[in-house]
A and B are shown apart, each in its own frame.
Chain A
């Protein structure tokens, strides 16, 4: 009997389940790091989904009407792509008299600004359509950079000739007046027209002169000559 008991005890030791320690709990810092990484992944995934994102952001398109029905308008954008505008009960219209209108006020060939929300099929669910002439939204300003090659005075305001860096075979004749803002980049403040001299490198914001052909008017001039360049 004693031997049998000893054998049983011996067997219990041998066949008992092995006791293993619990897995190491990650430190709080590591948990936070993993959370941050997961948050970043979720954020990037949500921003990389253009349909979801664009459907929340209001959009606006300017174009020429090519077709107008009761339920939708088709327009051609400046880049010659087409956009379908869906009309709903919530769509409001502003006609050419700048008054509240209706869809029948809009005809092919007219230019409009359509505002609303992009749908999954890239059509625009229109909330507002405003008749707008092309000239009203035109931006005639040009930004050019180049070197002044000639300066002359006209009514105390210099007129100068600029050769643009983009096309050294062309020249711009540019007028200034008392309203022209001239900025010295070295001191970062406005300066006088006297600083416009030959061989200076500038950035100019210009627009075509309405009276003189091939002449431009400068609204702003940024003097770059005071800067040190890496390519003298």
Chain B
């Protein structure tokens, strides 16, 4: 009789542990499922974005700005492209001490005009004239030297 009671108590204990263990396991499964959901939510969304510099260039611009070469640049070639941004569809005129060059800005206002430099320091005057004949001016210094620096 005692043996049967002990066996019943043992089986009852085991079953109790089993039920408790099952409950804990279910709880853990729910928590891990929630964490997985969070991981999916926090996955970075790949939205194609424009670089900040490009955005700056394509914004409406009511002046003239030279992107390259920088002011006080020293270059080893007498040919250089003047790249910048101004009012869209403007005439862009560039004058060195000995030569002048003409170009036009595109619909975004960007321009790239090849020029030829004189030897030594060049004070380069750049003007844009838009469709309303509004003129914007800027000046940069570029030195052309073939000497090894």
Answer whether A and B are interacting partners. yes
12 CB contacts below 8 A, A to B, read: A7-B14, A15-B21, A47-B53, A60-B145, A115-B74, A130-B120, A137-B97, A139-B95, A139-B123, A141-B100, A143-B125, A220-B100
Looking at the complex, which of B78-86, B106-114, B132-140 is the stretch in contact with chain A?
A: B132-140
* Residues on A with beta carbons closer than 8 Å to the beta carbon of B17: 11
User: How many residues of chain A get a CB closer than 8 Å to chain B's CBs?
Assistant: 57
Q: A115-B74, A127-B149 are in contact. Are A143 and B97 (CB under 8 A)?
A: no
The answer to whether B73 touches A141, judged by C-beta atoms less than 8 angstroms apart, is no
The answer to whether B97 touches A139, judged by C-beta atoms less than 8 angstroms apart, is yes
Nearest CB on A from B67, distance (A): 11
The answer to whether B93 touches A44, judged by C-beta atoms less than 8 angstroms apart, is no
Chain A residues close to B by CB (< 8 Å): 3, 7, 10-11, 14-15, 18, 20, 23, 30, 33-34, 37, 40, 43-44, 47, 57-62, 113, 115-117, 127-128, 130, 132, 136-146, 165-166, 183, 185, 201, 203, 205, 219-220, 222, 224, 227, 229-231
Chain B residues close to A by CB (< 8 Å): 7, 11, 14, 17-18, 21-22, 25, 28-29, 32, 36, 39, 44, 46, 51-53, 70, 72-75, 91, 93, 95-97, 100, 102, 120-125, 127, 129, 131-135, 137, 141, 143, 145, 147, 149
* Residues on B with beta carbons closer than 8 Å to the beta carbon of A142: 95, 125
Nearest CB on B from A156, distance (A): 23
The answer to whether B149 touches A62, judged by C-beta atoms less than 8 angstroms apart, is no
The answer to whether B137 touches A143, judged by C-beta atoms less than 8 angstroms apart, is yes
Which residue on chain B has the smallest CB distance to residue A77? Answer: B72
Nearest CB on A from B39, distance (A): 7
Nearest CB on A from B57, distance (A): 13
The answer to whether B141 touches A62, judged by C-beta atoms less than 8 angstroms apart, is yes
Nearest CB on B from A166, distance (A): 6
Main secondary structure of the interface of B (DSSP, over half): mixed
Nearest CB on B from A193, distance (A): 17
Q: A33-B46, A115-B149 are in contact. Are A183 and B102 (CB under 8 A)?
A: yes
The answer to whether A3 touches B11, judged by C-beta atoms less than 8 angstroms apart, is yes
CA distance A227 to B125 in the complex (A): 24
CA distance A59 to B44 in the complex (A): 42
* Residues on A with beta carbons closer than 8 Å to the beta carbon of B39: 23
The answer to whether B95 touches A205, judged by C-beta atoms less than 8 angstroms apart, is yes
Nearest CB on B from A126, distance (A): 10
Q: A14-B25, A203-B93 are in contact. Are A137 and B121 (CB under 8 A)?
A: yes
Q: A115-B149, A132-B121 are in contact. Are A60 and B73 (CB under 8 A)?
A: yes
CA distance A145 to B130 in the complex (A): 10
* Residues on B with beta carbons closer than 8 Å to the beta carbon of A132: 120-121
* Residues on B with beta carbons closer than 8 Å to the beta carbon of A139: 95-97, 122-125
The answer to whether B120 touches A113, judged by C-beta atoms less than 8 angstroms apart, is yes
